Structure formats: C-alpha cells, structure tokens
Amino acid sequence: KICLCENSESFVVFVATWDGKLLSIKYDEKRETIVCQQEIDITKDGSKPVLAVAELDNIAYVSAEISDEEWAIYKIEFTGDNDFDRKKQSILVGTHPKPINQLVIGEDKRLYSFGYDGVCNVWNLNEIHSFPMKSYKLGKIVTQVQKKDSHILCVLAGESFALINTEDTQNEPVYFSARSEHLKSSQITSLAINKFVPDDSSRDDILDFALGTVEGRVIHCEYSLAERPGEKLKSQNPKAGGVVYAHQTFYKDRQISFPVNAIAYHISFDGLLFSGGSEGKIKFHDFPVQKVYKSLFEDRMPVSHLLTNSSGEYVVIAKGYGWHHDKNKIFGKNEQEKAKIYIYILEENDMPS
C-alpha cells in the first residue's frame, strides 16, 4: 500500500511492503527524478508484512506484527539520513490482538486503525499511549476503508458497510448492507468516495461512491444519510453511472475476470475515475456515461494500489504481487518481477471529452 506526503517543498511516497519494509521515496519538483530514498525494515527480519500505512505532517504510521497474538502501530520519523535509529525514530502508538490492515488519519488529526478483530480504535496522536481514546466494535473484518471530509466509509467482510462520522464520536457508526441488484453475489475488493451530493428531499446529503469487485466490475452507488441504519443500499441509475465491466476480457469464447484491486476518483474532474486490476492494467473511466476510454500498461504485474494527488495533476500507481502469489515474486527474486512505483502525469488529452 502507498500514501502521499505532499507540500510546497516535497513530494514523498510512503510504501508499505509485503516483506516487512517501509520505503520513503522523495521526488523532485517535476515528479520525474528520485532525489532521496530510504528503506526501513519494520519487522527486523523481513518475514512479516507491513499491511497499512498513513501519513500526517511528514510522519508515517505503519502496522506490523509483534507476535502471533499482537500487532502494533508505529510512528516513524524520517530524518533524511541513511541510517535509521529505531529507538529515536520509531515510537509505539498502540496495538491490536489481530492484524491491522487499514490506517486512516481523520479530519480531526486522529489515527483510526482497523483490525481483523472487527474493531476500529481511535488514537490521539498528541498523547501517545498504549490505550485508544475510543473504540468502535464493528463486528466484522474491515476489508476496505476510504475517508472523505469528516466521514470514513468501511467495507465489512466485503459485503456490508459502516459509516463513521469523525465529528460525532459520541454516536455509533451508521450501518447499511450491500443488498443491491449488482452486489448480491459480489465480493468488494476496492472502494472510492466521490463526494457528498446535496439531497433536495431532505436536509441530509447523499454519499456518492464506487466499488470494485472480485469479478472485475466497477459499480457506482449512492446512499442517503437520511435513511435509517440497515436500509437497502441503492445502486445509481445506470444512465447516471451504474456498472462498468472494466477488468473482464474474453479469451477463446471464455470470459475471464480480474479483481479490481484499487480505484480512485480524480480530485476535481467530476466523474473521472481510475481503476487498477490484477491483470496489470489501469483503466480511465468517464463514469457518468459508463465508458472506459483509456488503458495503461501492457505488463501483467497486478496493480496493488493507486492514488491521485491533492491537485489532481498525478496518479501514483503501485504494482506488485501480494501474499497469494508465488513467494519468489513477492520478495523480488526475479528482477523483472520486483514491485514498482509509477507517477503518471495527467495531460489534457487524458481527460474525458
């Protein structure tokens, strides 16, 4: 997984890897040349994966396994030196009894950690200690998380949702299920929030978001925040979005589907969405008209993560093999199979016409 640290002086990509490392890659102003790269072995022996990474004020937060019964969140500060002093630059934030696979920095500058134990813990980063300031018992494994403004949307066990309002931590999350026509038999593999759309029929907003599935589909959905918890998730009218079969192909009259591992909306161009699949391709979607109009990459290395930057000028893409692939590929025994980070600079002709 990757996250970005972007300001007027630097553009840094933090990369969490399957062989227990955290990479800090700093680029020049044009985003074309790497000016500094640091690598930290979080798990010391490289035998355990780093499953999640988040960033706040040039500081990285990562999750890693301490033992079979404990996973930790570390605060990592990069000094710019090649040598890493674990005692000075690595601080323990807190732990979960199960793997921590999602980390999110909320608008409230607090860290939200999501574990296989079905719990979301909230950490006050100004007062580092071993206990969370609040815990949400979500009940199921959180497989995907996406933040938009003051809300965090979670996919639970690939089939239902929890919506956390970081401005209202006194109340429990809002839960709703994925019971739409297009999601009955789907497993959700990726998530992206577009925006909150004003709802003329109520004082609440409609959450506009997209889902990637294991069957290679990208589905446009909406949910009214005025609805009661547990009410049916409504799929968007197909004329306004609907379903795009983005990562499916036919070979010898046989349909082959590839999981959609990552999706992201463009920050400012309404309806422009990027999706990355296990077949290695990045697809550009003009979502309002259900059209894939551009494809990147011909190699078969899976897309593992992608992000757009805050100004919408770049798409940052991570390609590499995961835990379910051959171990030689995960750890880069073959030079051609090593994971790669790409920064794609968006031009005018990349936008939908």
91-103 mean pLDDT = 88
Work out the percent of the chain whose per-residue pLDDT is above 70: 79
Give pLDDT, residue 304: 92
The region of weakest confidence among 45-49, 67-71, 148-152, 172-176 is 45-49
Q: Residue 323 pLDDT > 60, yes or no?
A: no
Residue 233 pLDDT more than 50?
no
**C-alpha to C-alpha distance for 33 and 297, rounded to whole angstroms:** 20
Pair of tokens at residue 102: 């999602």
- Amino acid code (one letter) for 74: Y
Least confident of 58-67, 190-199, 261-270, 329-338: 329-338
pLDDT in tens, 328-340: 544 455 555 778 8
Q: How far apart are CA 71 and CA 115, in angstroms?
A: 9
With the CA atoms of 233, 238, 242 and 248 taken in that order, what torsion angle do they form, in degrees rounded to the nearest 10?
140
Quick one: CA torsion of 320, 323, 324, 328, rounded to 10 degrees? Answer: 70
Residue 183 near residue 212 (C-beta atoms within 8 A): no
**Per-residue pLDDT, 346:** 93
Do residues 90 and 72 touch, judged by C-beta distance below 8 A?
no
pLDDT in tens, 32-90: 788 888 888 887 665 678 889 999 888 899 998 877 778 889 888 876 555 545 545 67
Of the listed ranges 159-168, 186-195, 332-341, the one predicted with least confidence: 332-341
> Taking residues 304-332, what's their average pLDDT?
75
Q: What pTM was computed for the model?
A: 0.85
Of residues 273 and 236, more confidence is placed in 273
Would you state the pLDDT for residue 263?
A: 95
Q: Which run of H or of E encompasses 330?
A: helix 327-330
What is the CB-side half-sphere exposure of residue 345 using CA atoms within 13 A? 6
Q: Is 303 exposed, middle or buried (0-12, 13-18, 19+ CB in 10 A)?
A: buried
DSSP string of 248-280?
A: EEEETTEEEE--EEEEEE-SSSTTEEEEEETTS
Evaluate whether 243 touches 219 at the Cβ level (below 8 Å). yes
